[in-house]
Chains A and B, each alone.
Chain A
């Protein structure tokens, strides 16, 4: 039963991702990407990682994708961008990368078929995640926080001179 649900969710995820890549309208593509992230959330849930499942929805589907939609909505130019996308999406452009991706997919299939079951068979609690993060993986957490700090400083740096310039022009 769980296995069937797992494969249905995986199929939804893969299909949504394919649709995301091939949509001409950027917002439609984003909607499929959100669907794909939600499907991945369901996959995490079925594997027993409830905490990761909820975080997937809160952070990826709920926060990051909202910002994506926000930006694309602001830059929305209607039919013009759709035509541009259509001219970019010629078979000559996507056939090469798709063939290469197909090889990777075939390899993955072989590994899964030969490697046997991937079931974890246990529930991962938030406490386990926290103990793992602040125990053996403390260095990784610190590195990630340093990376985020660098991003924050960069955003501040990029944002600041713009404000000054517009102020200077008006006064």
Chain B
């Protein structure tokens, strides 16, 4: 089977659940950050503040959806949808549990890399179309950052590919029955984690929208639901990233006692909380620090990891 499609129920269920979780993350993130910083967070609307999401949505829908007269209108409207669509289609290859998933594609891992590199167009085009200096600076940062970190994001997962001998995400999970890949590929895991944060432009690596320097970076001119698309797109990126980390390094759906789907969701949830904790815990580096760290530290380490993994795999085979 090269590209087997899941059932219609699977497709609707997975996409619906992902969008729902992404929306709920708006509340989860604010609430968890507040708890970690000894505050209360949004707790007024509904039980525990759970309806805060609804309140936010209503606010966003009724805001004026303004397109600046100096903007490149077509591209301005197109830009926010790109991140939303690429991140949502990224979930197609995620193996949630045996038999649960949208598509079983032989190059699932490469498909994920392709979509994450396409997602950068959203930010770059938003910055260009806004015709605003701050937006343009944010977009330039985003383009440079994403292209650099993409290089070793691909290299860091090649260790996993070598150990499992396949690009198929289902087979990668099956290959971890005897032990999760985080143990032999710890270096690869750390590099992949940092690269994924840089790719999804999350704090602490959110230089393209560093609000102290660039107002709001690439989405300075966006309001209403167009801004909402960027917002939800970012949360979709977080969910997709933690799902990929779980699949590649933490054994996917494998685990004792609980059903496979529950294990997958549990691990992904822990990953998402870790992303939120990082935002609360780490300061933002300077932009030149980010770039030189990428090229001078991460790239050599990723190549070295590849070399050592290859040598060990070859010596074990012979």
A contact set with B: CB distance below 8 Å:
25, 27-28, 31, 34, 50-51, 54-55, 57-58, 61-63, 66-67, 69-70, 73-74, 76, 78, 123, 125-126
Bound: A69/B129 CA distance, A? 12
Q: How large is the interface on B (under 10, 10 to 19, 20 to 34, 35 or more residues)?
A: 20 to 34
Cβ-defined contact, A54 with B110, below 8 A:
yes
Residues 48-85 of chain B: 1 if any A CB is under 8 Å from the residue's CB, otherwise 0? Answer: 00000000000000000000000010110010000000
29 contacts between A and B (CB under 8 A): A27-B128, A28-B75, A34-B121, A50-B2, A50-B105, A51-B110, A54-B107, A54-B114, A57-B118, A58-B110, A58-B113, A58-B117, A61-B117, A62-B113, A62-B114, A62-B117, A62-B120, A62-B150, A63-B117, A66-B117, A67-B147, A69-B121, A69-B124, A70-B140, A70-B143, A73-B127, A73-B128, A73-B136, A123-B2
Cβ-defined contact, A57 with B114, below 8 A:
yes
Kindly list chain B residues whose C-beta atoms are within 8 Å of the C-beta of A61. 114, 117-118
Q: Which of B82-120 contact A (CB under 8 A)?
A: 105-107, 110-111, 113-114, 117-118, 120
Bound: A67/B142 CA distance, A? 11
Kindly list chain B residues whose C-beta atoms are within 8 Å of the C-beta of A50. 2-3, 105-107
Kindly list chain B residues whose C-beta atoms are within 8 Å of the C-beta of A62. 113-114, 117-118, 120, 150
Confirm or deny: B200 has a beta carbon within 8 angstroms of a beta carbon on chain A.
no
Kindly list chain A residues whose C-beta atoms are within 8 Å of the C-beta of B125. 27, 31, 69
Confirm or deny: B167 has a beta carbon within 8 angstroms of a beta carbon on chain A.
yes
Total number of residue pairs linking A and B with CB closer than 8 Å: 79
Confirm or deny: B40 has a beta carbon within 8 angstroms of a beta carbon on chain A.
no
Confirm or deny: B232 has a beta carbon within 8 angstroms of a beta carbon on chain A.
no
Bound: A61/B113 CA distance, A? 12
Apart from A31-B75, A54-B113, A57-B117, list 16 A-B contacts with CB within 8 A: A34-B121, A55-B110, A57-B114, A58-B110, A61-B117, A62-B150, A66-B120, A69-B124, A69-B143, A70-B143, A70-B147, A73-B127, A73-B128, A73-B136, A73-B139, A125-B106
Main DSSP-derived SS at the B contact region? helix
Bound: A54/B3 CA distance, A? 13
B153 to chain A, nearest CB (A): 11
Bound: A151/B210 CA distance, A? 34
* Cβ 8 A contact of A126, one of B111, B127, B147, B167: B167
